[in-house]
């Protein structure tokens, strides 16, 4: 036996090591939550843009059918330039602007759709059509 007692080293982590590990885990979790929030926001924005574009295409397609004389004359005469269309359980307000373009009987049709309950514009599409007389 030795004259000096041997000292056993304590097993486990020090307080500093635990604090550093918790800080790293907290940073990783915060970053993960931020990314999930960004993903959710982008998903909502893309959904709104999809439905607004759908409404725009619907309005432009009706005008195309009218220009090709595929619809009845009385229905074509009552076409509004402003309104709302129901998509995904919401009313999507739209506005149609018709302008003469260069060329004979050529018109530019532009539809702007707003996001419901917001001032933001969801989509704006345009189309050039020749009006047949």
CA-closest candidate to residue 125, choices 62, 53, 58: 53
- Give the mean model confidence (pLDDT) for residues 1-22: 81
pLDDT at position 104: 80
As a whole number of angstroms, the distance between CA 81 and CA 62 comes to: 12
Ramachandran region, residue 28 (left: φ > 0; alpha: ψ -120 to 50; beta: rest)? alpha
> What CATH number was assigned to the domain covering residues 15-130?
3.30.1300.30
Percent of the chain past pLDDT 70, that is, above it, reads 88
Residue 73 in this model has a pLDDT that exceeds 80: no
As a whole number of angstroms, the distance between CA 6 and CA 28 comes to: 42
Q: How confident is the model at residue 80 (pLDDT cuts 50, 70, 90)?
A: confident
Residue 41 in this model has a pLDDT that exceeds 70: yes
Domain residue limits, the chain? 15-130
pLDDT at position 83: 92
Q: How confident is the model at residue 75 (pLDDT cuts 50, 70, 90)?
A: low
Q: How confident is the model at residue 76 (pLDDT cuts 50, 70, 90)?
A: low
pLDDT at position 71: 79
Number of H helices, E strands in the chain: 2, 4
How many Cβ atoms are within 10 Å of 102's Cβ, its own excluded?
7
Q: How confident is the model at residue 133 (pLDDT cuts 50, 70, 90)?
A: low
pLDDT at position 72: 75
């Amino acid at each position: 036996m030795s004259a000096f007692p041997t000292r056993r080293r304590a097993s486990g982590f020090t307080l500093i090591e635990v604090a550093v590990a918790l800080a790293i885990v907290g940073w990783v979790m915060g970053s993960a939550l931020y990314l999930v929030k960004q993903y959710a926001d982008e998903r909502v924005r893309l959904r709104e843009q999809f439905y607004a574009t759908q409404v725009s295409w619907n309005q432009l397609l009706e005008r195309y059918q009218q220009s090709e004389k595929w619809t009845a004359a009385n229905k074509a005469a009552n076409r509004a330039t402003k309104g709302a269309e129901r998509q995904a359980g919401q009313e999507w307000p739209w506005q149609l602007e018709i302008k003469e373009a260069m060329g004979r009987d050529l018109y530019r049709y532009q539809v702007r759709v707003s996001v419901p309950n917001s001032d933001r514009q969801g989509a704006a599409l345009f189309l050039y059509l020749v009006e047949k007389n």
